[in-house]
A and B are shown apart, each in its own frame.
Chain A
Amino acid sequence: MNAKPVLILLALLLASCDPPAPPSTGFAGLGQQAGEFAQVERGHGLQFPADHGAHDGFRIEWWYVTANLTDSDGRSWGAQWTLFRSALRPGGEQQGWESPNVWMGHAALSGPFGHQYSETLARGGIGQAGVAVSPFHAWIDDWTLRSLGGDGLQQLEMHATGKDFNYRLQLRSDRPLVLHGDQGYSEKSGQGQASYYYSQPFYQVSGEIERAGQRFSVTGQAWLDREWSSQPLAAGQSGWDWFSLHLDSGAKLMLFQVRQENAAPYRAGTWIAADGQATPLKPEQITLTPLAWTRLANGRRVPTHWRVALSQPTLTVEIQALLPQAWMGTRFPYWEGPVRISGDSNGRGYLEMTGYAP
């Protein structure tokens, strides 16, 4: 899902103490020109396991896992683990403090006790954060997402700690990776802005979470997103709404819309059948309608109740946030939290929304 916070990172770095970046450069500076960074090209194709690792020539990149969990009492939880990489300048990785890379980790746990999140930052080049390909290991400080066996991402352990919460989850999937868009080339506007984007939406999860000193055994489903780019947003695009949905039928659905100034939102998505077969969705096949808005404690208004309609396959569902207050008050803030699906099909998933001004 999410192209998102990344941008954030960038913006964080670019914005300094200036007022928030003007909308024309996109949320968190993602709309800036790519300059000498590597460019995303159609037909380039993806190679594994190499593409599980960092792509230093590109400006931004992320490893993103969301998990919908149930504890032994049947209560629903959501967990998020995200590692962003952002290059402050082109030129590729360098050792030591000279490295242009800045890493940012976000972790969240949402559930019966509310929404908790944590954030950490690290410089590249010194080993405080990074991604190793084989065996796969992504880390920042003591947060890890690492392979428990094999070359790929079939078995992962995901761990993070924040104030008053932590989790350690085991993720397993024997399904192939899902490439979005055109063989992993995912367009973000009608004008060629794009990213490389693949997912593993079929993880079965088990593990332990701890919240306010209480431990819970949980099981559930998880979804991993990998995305990298140098300029994923077009000028005039100010934010997006992103859905990663596990339907009870076993099918998965990824949808997003990038909201644009003076234009209709740019929409796209991928229908993933229960057998793993992925079908890109064209913009005109998707309708996303906010049904209800929540005013957050910080004064922002975000839509936390949506109607999602697809024309092919035909599907109409309503998406409702489990915790409408699931706000990530990180340096670059956004809304991210678990959702419940009802309608033509039931299920659960994650919703991410960025660019909603205070």
Chain B
Amino acid sequence: MLRLCLSALLSHWRRHPLQGISILTGLWLATALWTGVQALNDQARADYARANALLAGAAQTQLVARQGERFAQSAYVQLRRAGWPVSPVLEGRLRFAGREPVSVRLLGIEPLSLPADSSVAGQSTQGFDLLHFLTPPGQAWVAPDTLQRLGLKPGDQPTSADGQRLPPLAVQAQLAPGVMIVDIGQAQRLLQAPEQLSRLLLPNDFARTLPALPDNLRTQLQLQPAADNDDLQHLTESFHLNLSALGLLAFLVGLFIVHAAIGLALEQRRGLLRTLRACGVSLRALIGALALELGLFALIAGLAGVLSGYLLASLLLGDVAASLRGLYGAQVAGHLSLSPQWWLAGLGISLLGAALAGLNSLLRSAQLPLLALAQAQAWRQAQALWLRRQSALAIVLLLIAAACWRWGDSLPSAFALLASLLPAAALVLPALLDAALALLSRLCSTPLSQWFIADSRQQLPALALALMALLLALAASVGVGSMTEGFRQTFLGWLDQRLSAELYITPRDTRQGLAMRRWLDEQPGVEAVLPQWRLELRLQGLPVQLQGMLDHDSYRQHWPLLEQQPDAWASLASGKGLMLSEQLARRLKLHLGERLALPTTPPSPALPVVALYADYGNPRGQLLLNDELLRRLWPGATLSSLNVRLPAEHVPALKAQLQSRYRLDSTRLVDQGTLKRWSVEVFERTFAATAALNSLTLSVAGVALFISLLTLGQSRLGQLAPLWALGVTRRQLAWLSLGQTLMLAGLTVLLAMPLGILLAWCLVAVVNVQAFGWRLPLHVFPMQLAHLALLGLFTSLLAAAWPLWQLARRQPADLLRQFADER
């Protein structure tokens, strides 16, 4: 029975292939966008996990220096000879010069002492090719992706920017991207840190029964317990949430298509369903057949969707990886390697989508009365009821949105705000359009214009879903576009102010930095040398960058402050105040004037926060204090960079002198223009993937509109034929239809603008604050809005063109049939 039933049902698609294609397309697009985004997230998360598993991650209990970043190797030997099964690691950044300078995270490991249960690059420590790794020339392990980024091949022995020759490169597929692993001895040579170590790893079982450190080491080293959560995972969470939200939006837009097409197919098969029931097919068999049919669609579309999702993700991955590098310093591979679970999940989401979109139709089929009503329900009443219901639902959602805005203070609540606001706007759209049309109809006096408006209102239910999709996609474009553009302007303005020095120097180490500073002070033309002392530590579990600031007018004039107390710079200079980056202040929940105690030994008095400043793009919280205070409290602070002020015409000469005197390559000696260019490039790539996803969503909405218009085409004939008979030409009718579509789309576009601006406000004032810790001013860009509005109209025009072309080409016979056939 099921088979017979199914074959009867499936015969429908032979007669209406377009509906079948609609359902497949909708599911396909929805699945593709969603799985694509998930692929990006999965890849990134897998890479964080690989990076975290790299012995140096937070997952392992470690001994680290109390002061500064490194300590003497003798501590390792001493501890080993005291029976501590520690293993040494030296970590640093290794730079490579080039047109676009690249740096990798270099990890020096000692394979013989690694805890037996640890693994490096997916190999257990017992399975190493020790002979090649340890004996000259040694090996440098890199992931295939990193090798590609460096433009090198296995076996190459490149030279670092500091002039050190690397061991031959060897590919380790399991290695985290952006990481290079060498023997510890090689690392000390490459990083020019002889007999220096960054950390000592402790096997987990030993860490549990930890004996006390020897006295002489207690002042040098401190224990850093294994932390469950990974900073990177935590920091990038918001980014991935953003991606997921975009993916979800696209998924929903795709489901609109499916829902519309399935609903239409059911509507047209009402008669068939009744006949089947009347012939003795049980309700259960009928519903089973319908569900099976739906499952078949989901399976086919799901397969295509997952494949396209993979393709999409591989196209976007480069940009996403660049974003993550730029925003968080997170390394993500440029190629995908996905688990089988991902593929299965993709098929699952397709099935789920089909179920969601088809549930309503299945329920309606189940409740279909066996005996048909003589007359279909009057469309006008039905439409009014439908509009009322949707509006009621929209109001409920708006209330939820308002509650989220008023009482929410977390990222999920910010997204809940968006998740209720957007559907509410979508649901209220048909009612708004209907009202707008009712208003317009009063202005119409000619019969055709009256018909034009009246008929548009009648089309509304059929086009509503597609228009909603257009509204959402366009509003998302406007919102994300305004946010991005606003961020760009704020960021560029901030960068202009912040990058006030003419030359930025990164010394190899503090000693070289001090020497350079003395030398620079004596150079003619140099107006100021501003040293930046840095120290990384954790405040309330958060990684924080402490920066020592010299008291100098340059900062007072150029360092942009968001909020400040009177004489903020003077307090900072006298060591009586701290300045916090906006995101750090938010994370620590500190306000201007409140006090913060720094984790010094012995404890030092808490200092007031005298100013907050913007520090866009820095994943870590930053804290400014007087440089002498910093070095007094932490003698191990490093001189991380020297900012040199001098007249612009002296820059090239001084640069050349520095290059030859200190053998500084382009990564360590950067002028203002280059630094700005790099920053802007990073910024641009950061939002490239977002923009791409956005325009894809918009095209999905276009497809939704296209399919709706196409499916509408047949029933439109019944409306158009009488007009034709009454003396309106076919061409006129086609133009009128196009006008109707454009009017509806235009009104939708018009409504999308304020919604998009509202969305932009949510993004900058709520989501960004929760996700990144900074609040941006809301900018509205009329040109951008106009551009997007035209894009929306153009999308609608494209979507309308084909169905109308079909309509205009209708043979008279098709129209005449409307007068002869059964209704």
A residues near B, CB below 8 A? 12-14, 16-17, 88-89, 96-98, 100, 102, 120-123, 126-128, 139, 141-142, 161, 331
Contact = CB atoms under 8 A, between A and B. Distances in A.
Interface string B82-121: 1101000000000000000000000000101100000000
11 contacts: A17-B123, A17-B127, A97-B183, A97-B185, A97-B186, A120-B85, A123-B134, A127-B77, A128-B80, A161-B83, A331-B126
Contacts of B73: 126
A271 B384 CA distance: 112
A14 B131 contact: yes
A16 B80 contact: no
B662 interface: no
Interface of B: 73, 76-77, 80-83, 85, 110, 112-113, 123, 126-132, 134-136, 183-186, 188, 194-195
A120 B80 CA distance: 10
B113 A122 contact: yes
Given A88-B131, A98-B185, 15 more contacts: A12-B130, A13-B130, A14-B131, A16-B132, A17-B128, A88-B135, A89-B135, A96-B195, A102-B134, A122-B113, A127-B81, A139-B81, A141-B80, A141-B81, A142-B81
Nearest to A14: B131
A329 to B, nearest CB: 12
A128 B188 contact: no
A121 B114 CA distance: 10
B112 A122 contact: yes
Contacts of A97: 183-186, 188
What are the 10 tightest A-B residue pairs by CB atom distance, in nearest-first order?
A97-B185, A142-B83, A16-B129, A121-B112, A17-B127, A127-B77, A141-B80, A88-B135, A128-B80, A13-B130
Which of A97, A126, A127 gathers the greatest number of chain B CB atoms within 10 Å?
A97
Contacts of B112: 102, 121-123
Contacts of A126: 73, 76-77
B129 A17 contact: yes
B130 to A, nearest CB: 5
Contacts of A127: 77, 81
Nearest to A141: B80
A128 B82 contact: no
A16 B130 contact: yes
A128 B132 contact: no
Contacts of B188: 97
Given A139-B81, A161-B83, A100 B135 contact: yes
B80 A122 contact: yes
Contacts of B183: 97
A16 B127 CA distance: 6
A139 B81 CA distance: 8
A56 B554 CA distance: 61
Contact of A123 (B81, B110, B128): B110
A122 B79 CA distance: 13
B255 to A, nearest CB: 49
Nearest to A163: B205
Given A17-B123, A17-B127, A96-B185, A128 B135 contact: no
Contact of B113 (A17, A89, A121, A331): A121
Contacts of B110: 123
Contacts of A331: 126
A351 to B, nearest CB: 27
Query: Dominant SS at the A interface?
Result: mixed
A14 B136 CA distance: 14
Contacts of B132: 16
B75 to A, nearest CB: 12
Which of A17, A88, A128 gathers the greatest number of chain B CB atoms within 10 Å?
A128
B805 to A, nearest CB: 65
Nearest to A29: B131
A122 to B, nearest CB: 6
A96 B76 CA distance: 13
Contacts of A88: 131, 134-135
Contacts of B129: 16-17
Nearest to A119: B116
A157 to B, nearest CB: 15
A146 to B, nearest CB: 12
B127 A142 contact: no
Nearest to B88: A126
A123 B113 CA distance: 9
Nearest to A88: B135
Nearest to B123: A17
Contacts of A17: 123, 127-129
A12 B133 CA distance: 13
A59 to B, nearest CB: 13
Contacts of B128: 16-17
A142 B134 CA distance: 24
Nearest to B73: A126
Which of B80, B85, B110 gathers the greatest number of chain A CB atoms within 10 Å?
B80
A123 to B, nearest CB: 6
A61 B467 CA distance: 83
Contacts of A12: 130
Nearest to B187: A97
B121 to A, nearest CB: 12
Contacts of B127: 16-17
Contacts of B76: 126, 128
A291 to B, nearest CB: 35
Nearest to A122: B112
Which of A96, A120, A126 gathers the greatest number of chain B CB atoms within 10 Å?
A126
Contacts of B185: 96-98
Contacts of B85: 120, 141
A122 B184 CA distance: 13
Contacts of B134: 13, 88, 102, 123
A17 B85 CA distance: 24
A122 B82 CA distance: 14
Nearest to A104: B112
A82 to B, nearest CB: 16
Nearest to A12: B130
A161 B209 CA distance: 15
A13 B111 CA distance: 11
B81 A128 contact: yes
Contacts of B194: 96
A102 B110 CA distance: 12
B647 to A, nearest CB: 47
Contact of B131 (A13, A96, A139, A142): A13
B558 to A, nearest CB: 46
B489 to A, nearest CB: 52
A30 to B, nearest CB: 15
A12 B113 CA distance: 14
Nearest to A89: B135
Nearest to B116: A119
Contacts of A102: 112, 134
Nearest to B74: A127
Nearest to B205: A163
A17 B195 CA distance: 30
Contacts of B83: 141-142, 161
A73 to B, nearest CB: 29
Nearest to B82: A142
Contacts of A16: 127-132
A66 B546 CA distance: 57
A142 B73 CA distance: 17
Contacts of A121: 112-113
A97 B185 CA distance: 5
A139 B113 CA distance: 15
A16 B126 CA distance: 8
A139 B83 CA distance: 11
A128 B80 CA distance: 7
Contacts of A100: 135
Contacts of B82: 142
Nearest to A139: B81
B124 to A, nearest CB: 9
A123 B112 CA distance: 7
A52 B666 CA distance: 54
A97 B128 CA distance: 18
